[in-house]
Chain A
Amino acid sequence: MKRAVWESRSSGLLAALCTALLLAACAPAATNVADPLAQMRQPDGAVVWQQEYRFVPPPAPWQLIDLDEDDYSIACMKLCSEGYPCQSTLAYAEEPFGYSLDFEERQAEFFKRFLWASRVTFAPPELRKVTVLGQDGLEAVTVGTEPVLRHKVRCKILFARRGERVVAFYFTQWRSEEKSFDPADEADFDRFAASFGFLQPSFYERLFPQAP
């Protein structure tokens, strides 16, 4: 009798377990994915990165990417369900393209090199003075076109200052020529840039503590 009761209970447990597994399979995938930044995450949701930067990363499905290059310090990518070329990237760059310490000159130098390998032709950027990292900065917004593949890319670059050096935040959103851009991704970028801060003086500030 005991055996029969156990079998009955165990099959009930099995059914409940199967139901739970089925329900779990229906749950949004994001809830099952471990937070890749969990060890760097602070109680308020911000991330401390290499004891140097503090920022709130954009929410999933944005993913931190390793570009294995020096052009970016931190970068995230978001892919669309419709696939290539539909994607957005955002990044912080400690050494943005160009040389000048003047924002307007730097943006002109920057767009000579930015996305150079993608063969993009940029429209003249719209420039706007903004506050970035609590200081005067420059926002440059433009759309580039790639005429062979018929792709377009919306770019927003925020030039900012860390000490005397120029740093920058990049946003790009790629679409096919006939598709419209999605402002939600750009809003994620704006929140990322607004949340960004430095936890210590930069290498250059430590090397030249008396610099202007």
Chain B
Amino acid sequence: MEGHQRNLYLYERLNARVAGVSRDQVDTLKYWAEDLGLSFPVFSNSIGHIGIWFETLEAGYPMFSRKTVIIDKWGVIRYMQAGHPDYRAILTLLKQLHEEEATR
């Protein structure tokens, strides 16, 4: 999350927006986002259906595992990567999508 916050000005330059999703309650996320100084939205999905859709809800474990998903402006999933975010791969793809966007 801190890496995304650090790159926020670059995401804006590439016409991209970032949001986080977690199973934590709203109050927990609010405290956590304030403590980290995050300025992008972090959504609470305590029921967990988003985790089921994106296959980040492992059986027997109550939290989402980490996954980065990039969805283009036409609603197409263009990137899904589990684990620690690869910020350079994310920025490279966002730049490519931004260039595609200009030509469509």
Contacts and interface: CB of A to CB of B under 8 A. Distances in A.
B86 to A, nearest CB: 10
A207 B13 CA distance: 12
Q: Which of B8, B10, B84 has the most CB of A within 10 A?
A: B10
Contact of B5 (A99, A101, A203, A207): A99
Given A203-B88, A208-B10, A97 B2 contact: yes
Interface string B2-16: 110110111001000
B103 interface: no
B92 A95 contact: no
A187 to B, nearest CB: 31
A109 B6 CA distance: 11
Interface in A71-108: 95, 97-99, 101
A70 B2 CA distance: 12
B2 A99 contact: yes
Interface residues of A, number: 13
A208 B37 contact: no
B88 A99 contact: no
A99 B91 contact: no
A113 B3 CA distance: 13
Nearest to A166: B6
A97 B9 CA distance: 16
A113 B37 CA distance: 11
Q: Which of A95, A99, A101 has the most CB of B within 10 A?
A: A99
A207 B92 contact: yes
A48 B13 CA distance: 33
B30 interface: no
Given A109-B37, A208-B13, A99 B92 contact: no
B99 to A, nearest CB: 12
B63 to A, nearest CB: 20
Interface in A98-134: 98-99, 101, 109, 112-113
Contacts of B3: 95
Given A203-B88, A208-B13, A99 B95 contact: no
A207 B95 contact: yes
Nearest to A165: B6
Nearest to B6: A99
Q: Which of B3, B37, B88, B95 has the most CB of A within 10 A?
A: B37
Q: Which of A97, A113, A207 has the most CB of B within 10 A?
A: A207
14 contacts: A70-B84, A98-B6, A99-B2, A99-B5, A99-B6, A99-B37, A101-B9, A109-B37, A113-B2, A204-B10, A207-B92, A207-B95, A208-B10, A208-B13
Given A99-B5, A208-B13, 7 more contacts: A95-B6, A98-B6, A99-B2, A99-B37, A113-B2, A207-B91, A208-B10
- 7 nearest A-B pairs in the assembled complex, by CB-CB distance: A99-B6, A99-B5, A203-B88, A207-B91, A207-B95, A109-B37, A95-B6
